[in-house]
Amino acid sequence: MLTFLRYGVIISFFVCTISLCILVLKTLLFGKKPLHSEPQGVENKGILYAFGKGMMPWEKESAARHLPTYIAGILYHSGIFAGLFYILLLVIPFCPSLFLINALRILMLCGIACGVALFLKRIFKTTLKNISCPDDFASNILVDLFLFLALIDTFISIVRPVLLFTAILMLLYIPVGKIRHCFFFFYSRILFGLFYGRRGILPQKQRQFKV
């Protein structure tokens, strides 16, 4: 049974990856317009900014204004990556050290707490609730459940079949719903960096005109 589910996880991982690639290809089918205006800045610097300084609360007002949500978002996503890493360990299979397991437990615990907090925020904050669709709630529940089961599994492996089954479900759901942003986030941030970098807006130019 477990072997079957392990293979299920591997297959669904590939299905997920291929589906995400198809989604990206579909966006590319909309066509790439060659740019004709003369660049004023450096695109690569813009990309570096987009993934570095441009994500920091002192640079991004939205993060500074919503610091708890911003931190919760970071912890939530760290927990998710820890959960996925744990699944990888189960599938290989590989017996991790206690230190590594403890580190994953902490990350997953933080992830669950933050995931639930963000879910509650979505329910109780009217504007957020009103811009949400069922997919927003379902994605959160599915990921929280996955994290919860992964955390339990680090203590008692009796839940393993359910965990692996949830992992399969989650991997298959990624390209369908909003969790696809795990892939599109990088795509969008690169495009953000290209736009602002090319125009020399961000990062701000060296002060050529310093008084």
Partner 1 sequence: MNNKEAVKDPFEEKISNLKSEDLRKALQIFKEKINYDYAAFLNTCVHCGLCAESCHYHLTYKDLKSLPAYKLNLVIKVFKKNFSQTGKRISRWVGAEELNHHVVKEWIDSLFGRCTLCGRCALNCTMGINIPYIIRTGRSALAAIDLVPPGLQSTVDTALRSGNNMGIPKEDWLETIEWLEEELQQDVSDSKARLPLDEKGAGMLYTINPREAMFFPLSISAAGKIFYAAGESWTFSSDYYDVTNYGLYSGDDEAAGIMSEHLIMSMKKLRCHTLVLAECGHGFNSNRWEAPEWLSRKYGFEVKSILQIVADYIRVGRIDLDPSRNKKIVTLHDPCNLVRLGGIVEEQRYILKHATANFVEMTPNREKNYCCGGGGGQLAMTLFTERRLKVGKIKADQIRSTGAKVVATPCHNCIDQLMELNKHYKLGVEIKTVCEIAADALVINKKKTNTFHSLLSS
Phi, psi of 93 (to 5 degrees): -90, 155
Out of 135, 141, 157, 158, the residue judged to bind partner 1 by CB under 8 A: 135
Out of 82, 87, 104, 202, the residue judged to bind partner 1 by CB under 8 A: 202
Are 188 and 36 in contact, with CB atoms under 8 Å apart? Answer: no
Size of the site for partner 1 (CB under 8 A): 65
Residue that the structure tokens 């615990």 belong to: 109
- Residue 94 binding partner 1, by CB under 8 A: no
Q: How far is CA 80 from CA 112, 127, 144, 196, in A?
A: 9, 26, 9, 30
Q: Among the candidate windows 6-14, 64-72, 84-92, 158-166, which touches partner 1 by CB under 8 A?
A: 64-72
Cβ neighbors of 141 (< 8 A, separation 6 or more) are: 119
Are 126 and 155 in contact, with CB atoms under 8 Å apart? Answer: no
Out of 1, 3, 4, 36, the residue judged to bind partner 1 by CB under 8 A: 36
Least CB distance to partner 1 at residue 42 (A): 12
Neighbours of 32 (CB within 10 A): 7
- Residue 44 binding partner 1, by CB under 8 A: no
- Residue 58 binding partner 1, by CB under 8 A: no
Least CB distance to partner 1 at residue 54 (A): 8
Out of 116, 128, 162, 172, the residue judged to bind partner 1 by CB under 8 A: 128
State how far Cα 191 lies from the chain centre.
17
The identity of residue 190, as a single letter, is: I
Q: Which residues bind partner 1 (CB under 8 A)?
A: 23-24, 26-38, 40-41, 50, 54, 60-63, 65-66, 69-70, 73, 125-128, 130-136, 138, 176-178, 180-181, 184-185, 187-189, 191-193, 195, 199-202, 204-205, 207-211
